[in-house]
Amino acid sequence: MEIPTRLVLAPMAGVSVQAFRRQGRRFGAGLVCSEMVSCAGLHHGNERTLGYLRIASDERPLAVQIFGSEPDVMAEAARMVEDAGADLVDVNFGCPVKKVTKTGAGATLLEDPERACGVVSAVAEAVSVPVTVKMRRGLENGSRACLELGPRLVEAGASSLTLHPRSARQMYTGEADHSLTAELVSRVDVPVIASGDVTSRARAQAILATTGASAVMVGRAAQGNPWALREIIEGETEPPTREEVVAELILFMRATVRELGEKRATGFLKKFYGWYLGRGRFPRPFKQELVQLEVLGEVEERLFAAAPGSAAVLARLEAEHPEGEDDVLLDLPISIYGGG
C-alpha cells in the first residue's frame, strides 16, 4: 500500500473525528487514522461511547484503530473495519489510560508479549488489508519493551509499527525519546512511523534523518492548526489569515454537527475554539466568549463578525469539498477513553 506523503495524522480520541481526518488529508497528510474504536463494545453494548465511527472514501487512505485484548474479539472487529472500507487496521498497544489498561488492553500489552502477538496474528489472519500496530516504549519510565516486542509483532503479522517513545506512566510529560525509534528501525524490516513531539518541518526532518523512520506522525501540533501539516510538508508557508482560520473552524463545526449531532457537537467543539483562535490569532477573551455560548449558530455569528471576509472563503471550501456523499457507519463504538 502506498502512502502519498511521509506525514501521518495521529489518532487522537476526542479529536480525530471525520472532519479532522478530512481536513488533515486536504492539508497534505498521506494517511489519517480514526480514533480508537472499542472491541469490547461488540460484547458490552452498554459501554459509554462517543457514537459510531463514520468513514467515507475521501478520507482514504484511512487507518481505523481498534483496541482490546481478546484475539477472537479483535479479529471480529477487524473484519468489520475492513468491510466498512478501511485501508489499514491499526491495533492500539499504547493507550495509557487506567480504564483501558486495567482490562489488559492498550499499553498493558507491551508487557504481555504472548498475548500481544496472539492479538496481532489473529487480526492479521482475519483480514486481507495490512495490519499495523501503534505502541509506546513500555509501561514504566526507561522501559525498552517496545524493542523486544516490535520484531515479534512483525513476525506475528504486523506490516508497520508506529512508536510513540514515551512510557505509559509518562502520559504526555517529558520528551519522546526518538533514539528508541532509531533502534526499532534497525531491528525490523517493515516501515516504522515516528510519533511524538513533531511540531515543525525542522523537527520532522531531524527525526526522519536520525531515526531512519519512513514517516512522521503529527498529533497535538495539528489540533486547530492544519497549517502545521502544510508547513511540515512544504516548508516555509505564510501563516493563515484570520479569514482562513475562521472559515476552517466553521467548516469543521458544520461537519462535526453532521457527524455527532448538534447536542454532542456543542460540547465537543469547545476545546477547538482555543486551539484555532489561540496562537496569537485572536485576542484571548474572544475564545472565552465563544465557549460560554450554547448555540452553535451564535458561535458562527460571532466568528463571521470577527472576520467578515471568512464567509467567501468558507463558501469556496464548501463548494470544493462537498461532504457526506458516501459515508458508511461502522457498527463499532468510538471509545471515550483514548491515548497512546
Ligand X SMILES: Cc1cc2nc3c(=O)[nH]c(=O)nc-3n(C[C@H](O)[C@H](O)[C@H](O)COP(=O)(O)O)c2cc1C
In the complex, minimum distance from the CB of residue 295 to ligand X, in angstroms, rounded to a whole number: 26
Answer for the pair 94, 136: CB distance below 8 angstroms, yes or no.
yes
Is residue 71 near ligand X by the rule CB under 6 A?
no
Considering beta carbons, is residue 196 or 240 the nearer one to ligand X? 196
- CA pair distance 116, 139, nearest whole angstrom: 14
> Of the listed 33, 95, 117, 146, which one is catalytic?
95
Residue from the set 60, 79, 115, 220 that interacts with ligand X by CB under 6 A: 220
Residue with cell 511524538: 196
Q: Rounded to an integer, what is the distance from CA 205 to the centroid of its chain?
A: 21
Instruction: Count residues binding ligand X (CB under 6 A).
Output: 25
- CA pair distance 138, 195, nearest whole angstrom: 14
Is residue 333 near ligand X by the rule CB under 6 A?
no
Is residue 180 near ligand X by the rule CB under 6 A?
no
- Cα-based angle 147, 62, 59 (whole degrees, multiple of 5): 150
User: Residue 199: what residue type?
Assistant: T
Is residue 213 near ligand X by the rule CB under 6 A?
no
Is 95 tagged catalytic? yes
Residue from the set 76, 82, 197, 300 that interacts with ligand X by CB under 6 A: 197
Is residue 218 near ligand X by the rule CB under 6 A?
yes
Q: Which residue is nearest to ligand X (CB)?
A: 340
In the complex, minimum distance from the CB of residue 320 to ligand X, in angstroms, rounded to a whole number: 28
- Burial string for 285-295 (b: 16+ CB within 10 Å, else e) reads eebeebeebee
- CA pair distance 146, 107, nearest whole angstrom: 10
In the complex, minimum distance from the CB of residue 163 to ligand X, in angstroms, rounded to a whole number: 9
Q: Rounded to an integer, what is the distance from CA 172 to the centroid of its chain?
A: 15
In the complex, minimum distance from the CB of residue 340 to ligand X, in angstroms, rounded to a whole number: 2
Q: Is the peptide bond before 283 cis (omega within 30 degrees of 0)?
A: no
Residue from the set 3, 7, 8, 15 that interacts with ligand X by CB under 6 A: 15
Helix (H, G, I), strand (E, B) or coil at 13: coil
- CA pair distance 301, 270, nearest whole angstrom: 16
**Nearest 10 degrees: CA dihedral of 322, 328, 334, 340?**
-70
Is residue 193 near ligand X by the rule CB under 6 A?
no
**Positions 225 through 284 that interact with ligand X (CB under 6 A):** none
Is residue 339 near ligand X by the rule CB under 6 A?
yes
Residue from the set 41, 219, 226, 333 that interacts with ligand X by CB under 6 A: 219
- CA pair distance 151, 184, nearest whole angstrom: 8
User: Residue 233: what residue type?
Assistant: I
Is residue 13 near ligand X by the rule CB under 6 A?
yes
Stretch that binds ligand X, among 52-60, 108-116, 192-200, 279-287 (CB under 6 A): 192-200
Is residue 14 near ligand X by the rule CB under 6 A?
yes
Considering beta carbons, is residue 333 or 338 the nearer one to ligand X? 338
Is residue 167 near ligand X by the rule CB under 6 A?
no
**DSSP class of 59:** G
Size of the chain, expressed as the number of residues it contains:
340
End-to-end CA distance of the chain: 24
**Positions 75 through 134 that interact with ligand X (CB under 6 A):** 92, 94-95, 134
Stretch that binds ligand X, among 120-128, 179-187, 215-223, 226-234 (CB under 6 A): 215-223
**Positions 26 through 65 that interact with ligand X (CB under 6 A):** 35-36, 65
Contacting residues toward ligand X, per CB under 6 A? 10-15, 35-36, 65, 92, 94-95, 134, 164, 195-198, 218-221, 338-340
Q: Which residues are catalytic?
A: 95
